[in-house]
Amino acid sequence: MTNRGPAPGAGAGDGRQEEAFRFLADPATHGLDGPVRRIDTAGAVVFLAGPDVYKVKRAVRFPFMDLSTLEKRRAACEAEIAVNRENAPGIYLGALPIVRTPHGLAIGGEGEAVEWVCHMRRFDENATLDRIAERGGLSDALVDRLALAVRRAHARAPLRDGTRAAAEIETYIGQNDAAFAERPELFPPAEARRLTREQRLAFAVARPALLRRGRAGYVRRGHGDLHLANIALIADEPVLFDAVEFSDAIASGDVLYDLAFLLMDLETRGFRRAANRLFNRYLAAEPPEALDGLSALPLFLSLRAAIRAKVEAARADRLEGAERERALRLARGDFDLASAFLRWAAPRLVAIGGLSGSGKSALAEALAPRLGRAPGALWLRSDVERKAMFGVEETVRLPAAAYAAEVSREVYRRIDDKARRALGAGSAVVLDATFASARERAAAKRAAAEAGAGFDGQFLDAPLAARLARVGARSGDASDADAGVVERQQAEPLGERGWTAIDASGALEATVARAAARLGLDGGAAGEDGGDRGK
């Protein structure tokens, strides 16, 4: 959902549209024996006809979207195709007229245009990521591919003005406040006013960083409606579809604001681990200065939740019975989440060291979702940073020269710099590196101190046989360490304050439990426990 108002506007339909609807709903129109499925929304009517999809824009007029004339609906159809074709060329085929011929209506061809449709290729409706998540969660491999798809979409998206995008954020806060005031029975006025005050304060704090990011190219014409139901798994690849076409302003903004919708959706559904992995995979290749934008992420998440709360509340007005009650529960849940995203969590740096095969990355991945504010800690891994420095994919093996002492010093300098920036932006950070030398361990602690953040260093201790077995079992990993590296590696004795040795000789669950206890976290490893949204 975007900042779209749900109330129908003037001109909710006319005879010509109804005629076109009957035509598209007729199986004979498409040469089918079976029925055509019709889906109605506030702004469109969609017809699923065999392998084809035809989407008609309703003749409606909203404050943000005017489709009241045939010409405006033609332009809207052409815009939807143009906006979505980059991300989903296999789905969006073209904008076509429904024309009147001597023999009746026809799709395309010569004749008087009585309506316009977006022609799309149909895909498996059960292959959208919301349904996949409900059935069994999102695998790590799928989340990784999703992060790459979003990064690529943002990289090719056109640049937009950062000053205007920042002003739009402030406008959304006011619009949400007005919408909540109209529903005091659902959104308690005192809580709504507090949420608005906190969002305005968060915006005032983040605004300088947002303007800098606009000048640096991080404000783009994004998707605008990037949630799980608008991403389909086609040929095992996530495909982004149904982007906002009717408003350049709504679709434009900081790329983290675009990503925040997806992170919020995962959080709402109870998929914190997937949200944290997506967050980290998206940011893994970013330069250090990009992390300054994390100061705005709580606001972005809160705004996305607040907007969906008001949209769900308005949708409930068109429903009855159990469906209405469910929509109201979702609206209230999103409203509560909007406030929760703004709660302060003190930034802290957790450094995880150990020789190759000791289980550093497995532990870091388990702890990151449980630290700091949503969606968890930023996970900075030296192996990933090294690959990014050389501009190669994580699984590409680097030559020995890439592990020279001066290169390794630069890797540590970069992850320490990133840690400082993320901590300064209010995020928790997990540093994942060997930290074999006292100098490296001291530098990590110093990075936390300079950012005014708490620090906890954990050095994993595992016997050589266990480390050799773990490294030997790896595949498709960012680490280039092999048995020879494991046998040669040594670490300077641990003696620095703030660092503790952790027994990592056994199963990961036991190591996670020891590390979590040291950090004051409850329970063991964080699992994937999908919530009940959408059920």
Residue-number span of the structural domain to which 458 is assigned: 348-519
Mean model confidence pLDDT for the chain? 93
Among 340, 366, 396, give the residue marking a domain's end. 340
The rounded distance, in Å, linking the Cα atoms of 108 and 115 is 10
The total number of structural domains in the chain stands at 3
Q: Is residue 530 part of a domain?
A: no
Same domain, 511 and 399: yes
Is 90 exceeded by the pLDDT of residue 530?
no
Q: What is the pLDDT of residues 250-290, one digit of tens each?
A: 999 999 999 999 999 999 999 999 999 999 999 998 999 99
Q: Is residue 32 part of a domain?
A: yes
Q: Which two tokens stand for residue 501?
A: 């040795």
Q: Residue 43: its pLDDT value, please? A: 84
The torsion region of residue 249 among left (phi > 0), alpha (psi -120 to 50) and beta comes to alpha
Same domain, 133 and 118: no
Q: What is the pLDDT of residues 398-412, one digit of tens each?
A: 999 999 999 999 999
Q: Residue 14: its pLDDT value, please? A: 61
The rounded distance, in Å, linking the Cα atoms of 358 and 434 is 9
Q: How confident is the model over 319-328, as a mean pLDDT?
A: 93
Q: How confident is the model over 175-181, as a mean pLDDT?
A: 96
Q: Which two tokens stand for residue 429?
A: 């950070």
Same domain, 75 and 40: yes
The CATH number linked to 150 is: 3.90.1200
The Cα diameter of the chain in Å comes to: 90
Higher pLDDT: 5 or 206? It is 206
The rounded distance, in Å, linking the Cα atoms of 313 and 276 is 28
Same domain, 402 and 508: yes
Q: Is residue 329 part of a domain?
A: yes
Same domain, 88 and 172: no
Indicate the range of 6-20, 288-302, 482-496 predicted with least confidence.
Answer: 6-20
The CATH number linked to 432 is: 3.40.50.300
Same domain, 54 and 197: no
The rounded distance, in Å, linking the Cα atoms of 452 and 519 is 18
Same domain, 254 and 356: no
Q: Is residue 5 part of a domain?
A: no
Is 50 exceeded by the pLDDT of residue 369?
yes
Beta-sheet strands, E only, within 9-128: 37-40, 44-49, 52-57, 92-101, 104-107, 112-121
Distances 159 to 255, 413, 520 between C-alpha atoms, Å: 10, 31, 44
Same domain, 25 and 61: yes
Q: Is residue 75 part of a domain?
A: yes
Q: How confident is the model over 331-350, as a mean pLDDT?
A: 96
Among 286, 306, 340, give the residue marking a domain's end. 340
Same domain, 183 and 206: yes
Question: Is the distance from CB of 156 to CB of 86 less than 8 angstroms?
Answer: yes
Is 90 exceeded by the pLDDT of residue 10?
no
The rounded distance, in Å, linking the Cα atoms of 376 and 365 is 10
Q: Is residue 327 part of a domain?
A: yes
Q: How confident is the model over 171-175, as a mean pLDDT?
A: 96
The helix (H) or strand (E) run that includes residue 174 is helix 162-181
Among 122, 144, 166, give the residue marking a domain's end. 122
Q: Residue 526: its pLDDT value, please? A: 47
pTM over 0.85: yes
Is 70 exceeded by the pLDDT of residue 44?
yes
Lateral strand order in the sheet of 378-381:
378-381, 429-432, 348-354, 454-461, 499-503
Q: How confident is the model over 83-108, as a mean pLDDT?
A: 95
Q: Is residue 528 part of a domain?
A: no
Burial class (CB in 10 A: 0-12, 13-18, 19+), 524: middle
Q: What is the pLDDT of residues 122-155, one digit of tens each?
A: 999 999 999 999 999 999 999 999 999 999 999 9
Q: Residue 476: its pLDDT value, please? A: 87
What would you report as the CA-atom Rg of the chain, rounded to the nearest whole angstrom? 26
Same domain, 330 and 429: no
Same domain, 146 and 269: yes
Q: Residue 8: its pLDDT value, please? A: 40
Same domain, 172 and 101: no
Q: Is residue 195 part of a domain?
A: yes
